[in-house]
Structure 1
């Protein structure tokens, strides 16, 4: 066994007890065979050399694979299959040629699973940290309906569209975020470094009987607090952020956050329309690929990214189970715009729901881009004015005592 790779495994014994460990084998298949010979039922077997960074207490950190990289891999798989390359050979080629090391290892594991008799969708489902439920269900529908290549192409196109919109949002918010960071650093530098340089002068003025202006008193108080307790304040802010994030990850916190996000004056409509757009695109894409509507609603509700909309979609699923239409519970929730609701109602009657939902998403994405552009144009001058006001406050606090002293001398 010297020189053979080690495989980590989780398995069940004949008595049903869970066990785990490592086993040396020439391949994934041989590792499975060795475990079976030991009367173990393998639950998970993976190469120990896969890129995972571990620290004590079995906590694992996995490097995230970019959506664009996954989309490229799915497109390549579709091309290989469309050109008559067998499934196992296609997966082997992807595992060998994929530049991303983690995705290469994942594709290798998927190939091993398929070689051992698993279906492609089941093999993909084992890697839920890489492939979304939408991908798994569209692959399953493609295999059942004999249009796997087309389903893979559609998944890739969907992922690229979502990634493109995410990139536009990120690029739109980069400049305002940089302005805010620079403004905060400038303000802290002025208050913590520059203002204390004048403290001796201000003290002499007070001892001479000349009072200090209110602006200067406030500025000195802020400077003293930040200088003395700056580290404590920083730790407190960090602890508060962690506590708030922990609370927001709970069911109640998520619901409150999503409610607040929808009510924000400028960003609220963007959050709202983004959630509607994601829901429509995911649902339309799933329905177009033959995924049953109840399963499609379950996946699309989780993909919406808003707890309020998710609840409305789940209510719609219950409505459909009772034999009614999708549109009624969505309309009752008052979360979906009237124009969108009208299009969904007509699409249900004409049996073109999948096409209409994707068209709705395309239109809303364009509307979101316009709103983002407008929001950035509003935020930029507001941030510049805020930074200017802080700088002017510091300058006024420093210079006003000098002006008052000159006036008193004259």
Structure 2
């Protein structure tokens, strides 16, 4: 009977201790976010910290450490580790065996901490710690004035976190007598660029607020009821329908109507999709019309040029070659197709798609002749018929320089506009000699083609 009365009194005391309907006041200039609590009447007292002389402290099992910063969004805060006793390699909390958290409370050490252990015993050489000559602890000793007393002693380093060390950073006679900690340390940095010493602690997301009656809850958003999840007889303020527990803010937050949200998202998505589709259609239509105008203009120009080439005169009809045909026939005017070079330009061997072998004569870049002038010359030259002159098949005026296309004759002298009697025909140098034994006089000197 006495045990039952004692248990009842304990539960009532615990329940009364954990009621927390009000936020905690600031500690000096530092806000105390939910669920951290500085008294039994604010936030969640199971997340207890302490405010003293306008400074927040985190109490471990046997020592207290100042809190440097708090981040409620990540549920973490950073405490200041114990310092070294002056001119020694011993930390002030060695007497308490370092940092030891109560593992029944919702706090633990994060894996963002890099720990350097100093003044260690040889027994640690068998541990998974890095006690080699390249360990970060040597950099810390050599680069920190306060740690200079640790020089020559065995030191180690490791990354905190994990089940075996998430609740303590231990210092003792049989291990290491000093330590320091750094949050999110970049090991490649020089020691003078390391962050200030600190140890990051995280807290678990809290459950709903403990209550003794409905008056302890926000009557419009939550109701006091038994916490059947824990089975310890504790009541909590459970959120009403339409609300959900927000463990960061410590309140029951309103849930957006899913149907309304879905409809809004659907309408927004359809509107955006239709608008984007309309823009794409408009752009595609404009591009198509532009393409059609270009094609029609090219077709008109091609007909006009064919008309110039095939104008009356009794000669053979000349062909207007496209730039694509010329490039394909000559392998894009490849140097291995070069037959000769003269004053007018270069001559290449080419093979048309139907297998016809041709000689392609390209004017030099910067040739001042206009397109119409080239077309007229081709038209006139196609009317010239001489047994010693290689036939002109046509031309190409699409590319940067004018191009003449001839019949290809093996082992002929290079291109000239004079016949074997050196009598000019009055047209610019775009003809070749056929089958002559005496080298002609050239207006444009060129090498003999194969």
Q: Please, what TM-score do these two structures have when normalized by structure 1?
A: 0.17
**Greater radius of gyration (CA):** 2
Ranked by relative contact order (alpha carbons within 8 Å, sequence separation 6 or more), the top structure is 1
Answer 1 or 2: which has greater helix percent.
1
Answer 1 or 2: which has greater strand percent.
2
Q: Please, what TM-score do these two structures have when normalized by structure 2?
A: 0.16
